[in-house]
Amino acid sequence: MGAAVRSNGIHPRDTSADAATAAVPHNDGMNDHESAGTFLVIGGSGRTGRLVVERLLARGARVTVAGRRPGNPPRGATTATVDLGRGIDPALLDGVTGVVVSVEPPADDRGAQAVMNHGVADLAAAAAKAGTKVVLVSQIYITRAHEHPSLAGIIVARAAGEEALRASGAPYAIVRPGWLTDAPAGGARLEQGDTGDGRTSRALVADATVAALFEPAASGKTFEVFDAPGAQVASWSDEFASLRRD
Ligand SMILES: NC(=O)c1ccc[n+]([C@@H]2O[C@H](COP(=O)([O-])OP(=O)(O)OC[C@H]3O[C@@H](n4cnc5c(N)ncnc54)[C@H](OP(=O)(O)O)[C@@H]3O)[C@@H](O)[C@H]2O)c1
């Protein structure tokens, strides 16, 4: 990988002001020269993606909401038109510290392959060249497609996209939520090995995704995340540190 690996787990492609201050976790007390980094959120207009965008903006990051129809972004964010099924213009990653993919796949097998396999693979290759971290929102049952035959086409495509990201050389984390809800984030249970089932609030997915962008301990790891009422996360860094690398 060409870019330097920073101790904060974010791999900036240059030494610009964005990259040099990418570890700043919150906006508190930052002056005009500080930034929490620059992020592209593909699917940032969606229900989970929007929560990711809000959290990044709250940290003082620069955020671009990307999608086929990104619409009106929250105040402070910009937009880019991106159809992940048609590949990605590498120039979109110029100066970008991290990319989140929170994209709903098409229901048909061919469309799912185009977006969740080939689209993610293209993005991962561009991110590897740019030294940009990618956090991919995936799902449970990736290794158990036979248990959900009606979702098998999507699951197989997602599994291939996950694997392409792991093999790309880009810094990454893969977040696998359970069945999504719009409940507020409560506690969390992180697992690995894709054996579990359960619900996951979109707010919790957003918390885990943003933490995975910033925390070096999440890099190179794939994990499931489920709601676990009462089990508040005291430290995402500690949660990620207890996971094994892929
Ligand atoms: N539903 C569940 O129980 C469940 C469980 C586990 C994981 N997940 C996954 O969790 C993620 C978030 O789900 P959600 O319900 O919050 O999503 P959502 O509200 O349906 O939003 C999906 C986003 O994907 C974007 N998108 C769709 N096709 C795209 C394409 N070809 N290129 C770029 N962007 C595209 C949409 O924007 P445009 O339409 O403007 O392109 C939208 O912003 C998804 O990956 C979902 O599959 C869901």
- Tell me: the pLDDT tens digits for 173-222? 999 999 999 999 999 999 999 999 999 999 999 999 999 999 999 999 99
Which atom of ligand 1 sits closest to the CA of residue 49?
A: 16
Which atom of ligand 1 sits closest to the CA of residue 45?
A: 43
Query: How confident is the model at residue 176, as a pLDDT?
Result: 98
CATH class of 17-241: alpha beta
100 forms bridges with which residues in the sheet? Answer: 41, 135
Query: How confident is the model at residue 34, as a pLDDT?
Result: 56
Average pLDDT over residues 95-122: 97
Is the pTM higher than 0.85? The answer reads yes
- How far is Cα 13 from Cα 2, in angstroms, rounded to an integer? 8
Cβ-based neighbours of 25, under 8 Å, separated by 6 or more = 36, 59, 214
Tokens representing residue 152 in the block: 């098998």
Tell me the CA end-to-end span of the chain in Å, nearest whole number: 18
CB 123 within 8 A of CB 168: no
- How far is Cα 44 from Cα 63, in angstroms, rounded to an integer? 9
- How far is Cα 194 from Cα 134, in angstroms, rounded to an integer? 20
- Ligand 1 in contact with 46 (CB < 6 A)? yes
Query: How confident is the model at residue 35, as a pLDDT?
Result: 73
DSSP H/E element including 193: none
**Nearest CA among 139, 133, 56 for reference residue 103:** 139
Query: Going by CA atoms, what residue is nearest to atom 36 of ligand 1?
Result: 43
DSSP H/E element including 208: helix 202-214
Would you say residue 17 has pLDDT above 60?
no
| Average per-residue pLDDT for the chain | 88
Query: How confident is the model at residue 15, as a pLDDT?
Result: 28
Average pLDDT over residues 220-229: 97
Predicted confidence band at 245 (pLDDT cuts at 50, 70, 90)? Answer: very high
- Residue ranges covered by each domain of the chain: 17-241
Pocket test for ligand 1, best of 65, 88, 100, 103 (most atoms within 8 A of CB): 103
Burial label, 27 (beta-carbon count in 10 A; 0-12, 13-18, 19+)? middle
Going from the Cα of 102 to the center of ligand 1, the distance in angstroms, rounded, reads: 5
Would you say residue 20 has pLDDT above 60?
no
- Ligand 1 in contact with 60 (CB < 6 A)? no
Strands of 2-141, DSSP E: 38-42, 62-67, 78-81, 98-101, 133-137
Would you say residue 16 has pLDDT above 90?
no
The HSE-up count of residue 127 (CA atoms within 13 Å, CB side) is 32
Give the distance between the most distant pair of CA atoms in the chain: 53
CB 164 within 8 A of CB 124: yes
Query: Going by CA atoms, what residue is nearest to atom 47 of ligand 1?
Result: 104
